[in-house]
Amino acid sequence: MHRRHFLGASLAAGFAALGLGGCGTARPLRFGIHPWIGYEPIYLAEEFGWLPSAVALEKGSSALDSMELLKSGGIDGAALTLDEAIRVHVAGTRLMVVGVTNVSVGADVLVVRQEIKNLDQLRGRRIGVEMSGVSGTLLLNLLNLAGIPRDEVTLVDLPMDEHVSAWRQGEVDAAACYEPTASVLQSLGGVRLFDSSQLPETIFDVLVVTRQFADLEPDAVRALLEGHFAGLRHLVRNPYDSVYRVATRQGISTAAVRSALASVMLPDLASNQRYLARNGRIERVARDLSEMLAREGMIPRALRVDRFCNSDFLPRSVA
């Protein structure tokens, strides 16, 4: 269960069939996307007609859809978390990170029972976590940071939608999760001990395209990024409009949208340039992350590419 699933579950099915068969002479970029605050700029761009016909959105309900389609060749690119992108890449579909949509600054949380006061007290505890998701990344990083060896905690691999019941039944002492699960657990007496804001610039959501497509149709990739940054400008610069639209799409309140926005950092064009630079943050994080995932046996091998990201497709400026 991937976290993005929660946010988009209600709308996903309706859009799933749309977005295929773009027009134009060149082959359109079939781009997998699912509801998540970081991907909202692309939805907004589509809503306002800022995506050219060279980009056809393939709307799924969760990252799983996009990952499966990427592996089967059904789409040419997708919005994913960095670890998801690494998984797909290592599984054989060679990818390239062409944009960073958001950096998690608190969206991913470790909620603990009240008696746990600090990270060190996690030793010997049972921690519920969806290891195949981004929470796994959070937890692994957290344990690293706290210097707790893996065998000193018991990791209970739980899909996100089972966290609440497991908590209630006392099966776990802590849960690595994200909104809205985190808020539910807090209302059940849980305490936010740690969140991704304490792991600066570590948990990324990115836009990836297959290397094959990028070689074939670089202009379509540029068009996607131009649309993303136009949507991002609207999202950030005119929240008086965008929060309502996001809330409408995700079926949540504007207040929830605002708090979701607060839990992510949406890097602008300049930040993207910085993140995607050669030996930039994404490159280093992706390498470290892939090594960690490989160490944990969650992926068969670490990344073995010269460059996992490419800033060449970013627009020169945002109109």
**Residue 267 exposed, middle or buried by CB count within 10 Å (0-12, 13-18, 19+):** buried
Residue 256 backbone phi and psi in degrees, to 5: -65, -35
Tell me the CA distances in angstroms from 253 to 5, 209, 263, 268, 315, one per residue in order: 18, 32, 16, 25, 33
Compare residues 48 and 280 and give the one whose CB is closer to another protein. 48
Tell me the H-state helices in the chain. 3-16, 40-47, 63-72, 82-90, 134-146, 163-168, 181-187, 211-216, 218-237, 239-250, 254-262, 269-276, 281-295
Q: Does 312 bind another protein (CB under 8 A)?
A: no
Binding residue for another protein, selected from 152, 168, 248, 301, defined by CB under 8 A: 248
Compare residues 153 and 257 and give the one whose CB is closer to another protein. 257
Compare residues 1 and 247 and give the one whose CB is closer to another protein. 247
Compare residues 116 and 256 and give the one whose CB is closer to another protein. 256
Q: Are residues 65 and 269 in contact, defined by beta-carbon separation less than 8 angstroms? A: no
The footprint of another protein on residues 47-66 (CB under 8 A) is: 48-49
Q: Are residues 177 and 160 in contact, defined by beta-carbon separation less than 8 angstroms? A: yes
Q: Which stretch binds another protein (CB under 8 A): 33-41, 180-188, 199-207, 248-256?
A: 248-256
Q: Does 238 bind another protein (CB under 8 A)?
A: yes
Residue 94 Cα to chain centre, angstroms: 18
Identify the CA nearest to 269 among candidates 230, 239, 243, 238: 230
Q: Does 244 bind another protein (CB under 8 A)?
A: yes
How far apart are CB 244 and another protein at their closest, in Å?
Answer: 4
Binding residue for another protein, selected from 215, 253, 301, 304, defined by CB under 8 A: 253
Compare residues 212 and 254 and give the one whose CB is closer to another protein. 254
Compare residues 10 and 273 and give the one whose CB is closer to another protein. 10
How far apart are CB 233 and another protein at their closest, in Å?
Answer: 9
Compare residues 121 and 254 and give the one whose CB is closer to another protein. 254
Q: Does 268 bind another protein (CB under 8 A)?
A: no
How far apart are CB 319 and another protein at their closest, in Å?
Answer: 10
User: What is the spatial distance between Cα 14 and Cα 277, in angstroms, rounded to a whole number?
Assistant: 37
User: What is the spatial distance between Cα 20 and Cα 58, in angstroms, rounded to a whole number?
Assistant: 7
Q: Does 14 bind another protein (CB under 8 A)?
A: no
Residue 61 backbone phi and psi in degrees, to 5: -95, -25
Q: Which stretch binds another protein (CB under 8 A): 81-89, 180-188, 241-249, 305-313?
A: 241-249
Count of positions on this chain that bind another protein (CB under 8 A): 14
Under the rule (CB under 8 A), what is the footprint of another protein?
Answer: 48-49, 234, 237-238, 240-241, 244-245, 247-248, 251, 253-254
